[in-house]
Structure 1
Amino acid sequence: MSEPLTVLVTGATGFVGRRLVPELIEQGHDVRAMTRRPEQYDGPGEPVAGDVFDRASLTEPLSGVDVAVYLVHSLDDPDFEQKDADAARNFAKAAVACGVRQIVYLGGLGSEEDTLSPHLRSRREVEQLLGETGVPVTVLRAAIVVGAGGISWELTRQLVKNLPAMVVPRWVSTRTQPIALDDVIRYLAGVVGLPEAFGRTFEIGGPEQLTYLEMLQVAAEVSAGHRVPIVRVPVLTPRLSSYWLALVTDVDLTTGRNLIDSMGTEVVVTDNSITELVPGDPVPYAEAVRRALEDHQQD
């Protein structure tokens, strides 16, 4: 384990942040949980007020911080690319002014040789902007994170739960490499304060490369004990797909469309160097699904 550090976690009430804060505390770190409404925060760590869209508000929460974990995105906003770029610039400038030694960022997988969707393109831009002021950035790139409350996983869970059969577009044949939330937390916590990880980008994923269709079928088998009949159609545009998702799930239209735009891009791990710094066997997809379903029932 690395030395005890003062760590700021942005998005501390979000899907990943609320699981990461207790893990970092368990490792002995002094953790600040940044939120726009600290008076409503009831989790572990020290709640601190901060808004990435207001640079002046970031000075106090970042003062004296060794490592800042950046878990912010605006996927539910039609102008998310501009908003996320502005937020990253604000955070990078505040971090360097406060003497932060490392920024840890959770980004998205996808080959630079492919034409990236606006969602994935935005994640890459945020990576670059966070490092522009000179603070070493450690980037972990992931595909779908399987865990209760994750947007991509919620789409999968609700589709399987709500539909006796599915009509699906061609993107269900795209390969991806889902990763259990437990593994994402393990990798994030593992690189915090680790000098060998400074200024590096790592790809993280589970042990299997699956198509979206295979993910849906495994999720159906684990949750209901049987497969869901699926019919593929040649034409179902991202716009129509997003309306379909909004109809049968509680994921909002803008978020659904932004996610679907990314589903035509293959997102698989091509570099396993993260295992040299944070060893361990990743959780298989079926087990990740079981854990996510159990956590959802407990929420």
Structure 2
Amino acid sequence: MEKMPSLPSKQDSRELILVTGARGYIASQLIPRLLERGLRVRCLVRNPQHLHARQWFADVEVVCGDLTQPESILPALQGVSTAYYLVHSMSSGNHYIEQDLQVARSFAASALQAGVGHIIYLGGLADPQAKIARHMRSRILTGDALRTTDVPVTEFRTGVIVGPGSISFEMIRFLTEQFPLILCPRWMPNLSQPIAIQNILDYLLAALDMPNPESRVFEVGGSEVITYAETMLRYAKLRGLQRKLLILPINPVWLLAAFLANFTPVPASITRPLVEGLCNHSIVRNDSALQAFPHIHPMDYDTAVRDSLSKLDPRLVEPLWRQIKPAVHALKHAGFCILQRQTLLEANPGSVLEAIQLIYASGESYKLESSKGHETGSGHEHILLMRSKRKLPGQLWMEWRVSSLKKETRISQAVLFAPKGLPGFLWWCGLGPWLRLSQWVAFRKLLRQVDKV
């Protein structure tokens, strides 16, 4: 069990909450809200280093464990009052259903043994009586598996989640931004009930306040039912883009999966089950959630999208690029195309920061937006964030991070570009080689400047 110095003592009487899947999108949004409530939060992850870049890392307790290994689950559950179950095994291969169910049963049994009072699970929204995709069937059966013991389980079933970093929303965003004519499979007229990430968090937190929790299933969605096609067309309208859809008479799942893996942030390991899951309607058939939680008012789709677009800022999204360890790495995340380069130096961190500030002191190309330091799991880190002054088909940012390690200083530079429509993506793709060269030149210039300081 890994603890940070700032953590409360063992005598802390505050309620202890366990969050599984702490690296995931939902957990990363939920954990700050739990901390705001004054709750103690324990995160279960395979590798604690994956959480070091999170702003809340120093405020939580981290347990190193693997849900597929039952012996590592029980220690994580000791003293826990409520456990959030926010994991799935889609990326583990063709036998992910069997693994999902085995892990859920093992977790429920360990929770009972540890005296956990409540499990809160976020599953998938589909009609269990219909013929549905394996991925959706697995999410529903996982809820059943968690209910195999006497520990009460509150299950929320949801479909498309609208929020920056949500896999389903990023798929909509990147496809709509890039292609004026979007070729779509025949399931695009299927019905969906997209829900804002804010409302998902409202439900997950409201479940904590249930005085005498009992096992119940709640279907949750936004305030309106629309087609998958409408999710893209309405996103385009809000962004000021002209888009048309061409519905194909076939459902080439393998081709769509490969397409998503190349043109969106959706990981290749889950594209196929994700595409299969979209072949069904995903709407609320039972409004018990509205009755049980009347204080929660689901947003409409347009409001949820506007809220997500307002967060198109590196300071307002989870900084997943800071977890990347390779010297050079490119990724797509939360509306951004990102290119990061990093290196290690035997230099004083203060000298490196001063050198960076001297290089950009003129302010001709970039405006300094923020400069702040904080503690991470490996030492002190200072971040300089700058925004480009150039008129571009999108927003261009540059982030410098200077991290103090035991004997060295790690310097990381990330170029973040939020493209606007096809021109933005063409600009980014066309300048890819130039950006890599300019990053290298910037690093060489920095090294020379450090020697002068």
- The TM-score range, normalised by the shorter chain, is over 0.9
Look up the SS of the partner of 2:25 in the other structure: coil
Structure-2 change in CA distance of 1:64 and 1:174 (3 Å): same
Gaps of 5+ in 2: 1-12, 318-453
Q: Kindly, what percent of the aligned residue pairs are identical?
A: 34
Matched, 1:38 2:61: no
Larger radius of gyration: 2
Post-superposition offset of 1:136 = 0.9
Q: What residue number does 2:283 align with?
A: 268
Q: What residue number does 1:21 align with?
A: 31
Greater relative contact order, per chain length (Cα 8 Å cut-off, separation 6+): 1
CA contact (8 A) 1:108 1:142 kept: yes
Post-superposition offset of 1:94 = 1.1
CA contact (8 A) 2:202 2:296 kept: no
Post-superposition offset of 1:197 = 4.3
Post-superposition offset of 1:255 = 1.2
Post-superposition offset of 1:68 = 0.4
Post-superposition offset of 1:292 = 2.1
Matched, 1:180 2:196: yes
CA contact (8 A) 2:203 2:296 kept: no
Q: Structure 1: which 4+ aligned runs deviate by more than 6 Å?
A: none
Structure-2 change in CA distance of 1:229 and 1:190 (3 Å): same
Structure-2 change in CA distance of 1:175 and 1:4 (3 Å): farther
Q: What number of residue pairs does the alignment pair up?
A: 296
Q: What residue number does 2:207 align with?
A: 191
Matched, 1:133 2:143: no
Kindly provide the CA deviation profile for residues 196-217 of structure 1, in whole angstroms up to 9, marking residues without a partner as x: 5420110111001010000000
TM-score if structure 1 supplies the norm length?
A: 0.93
In 1, the alpha carbon distance for the partners of 2:136 and 2:211 equals 27
Structure-2 change in CA distance of 1:168 and 1:203 (3 Å): same
Kindly provide the CA deviation profile for residues 7-29 of structure 1, in whole angstroms up to 9, marking residues without a partner as x: 11111221000111111222232
CA contact (8 A) 2:128 2:137 kept: no
Post-superposition offset of 1:277 = 3.0
In 1, the alpha carbon distance for the partners of 2:125 and 2:206 equals 19
Which range moved further: 240-249 or 148-157? 240-249
Post-superposition offset of 1:193 = 4.8
CA contact (8 A) 1:92 1:135 kept: yes
Matched, 1:233 2:243: no
Post-superposition offset of 1:174 = 0.3
Q: What residue number does 2:16 align with?
A: 6
Which range moved further: 56-65 or 247-256? 247-256
Structure-2 change in CA distance of 1:113 and 1:64 (3 Å): same
TM-score if structure 2 supplies the norm length?
A: 0.62
CA contact (8 A) 2:118 2:213 kept: no
Kindly provide the CA deviation profile for residues 58-90 of structure 1, in whole angstroms up to 9, marking residues without a partner as x: 111100111100000122232321221222122
Post-superposition offset of 1:5 = 2.6
Post-superposition offset of 1:239 = 1.7
Structure (1/2) with the larger strand percentage:
2
Matched, 1:171 2:181: no
Post-superposition offset of 1:178 = 0.5
Kindly provide the CA deviation profile for residues 199-249 of structure 1, in whole angstroms up to 9, marking residues without a partner as x: 0110111001010000000111122x1331111111132122212222322
5 Å matches for 1:100-139? 100-139=116-155
CA contact (8 A) 2:128 2:140 kept: no
Structure (1/2) with the larger helix percentage:
1
The code of the aligned residue for 1:93 comes to: A
The code of the aligned residue for 2:102 comes to: D
Look up the SS of the partner of 1:134 in the other structure: coil
Matched, 1:207 2:217: no
In 1, the alpha carbon distance for the partners of 2:253 and 2:297 equals 35
CA contact (8 A) 1:149 1:296 kept: no
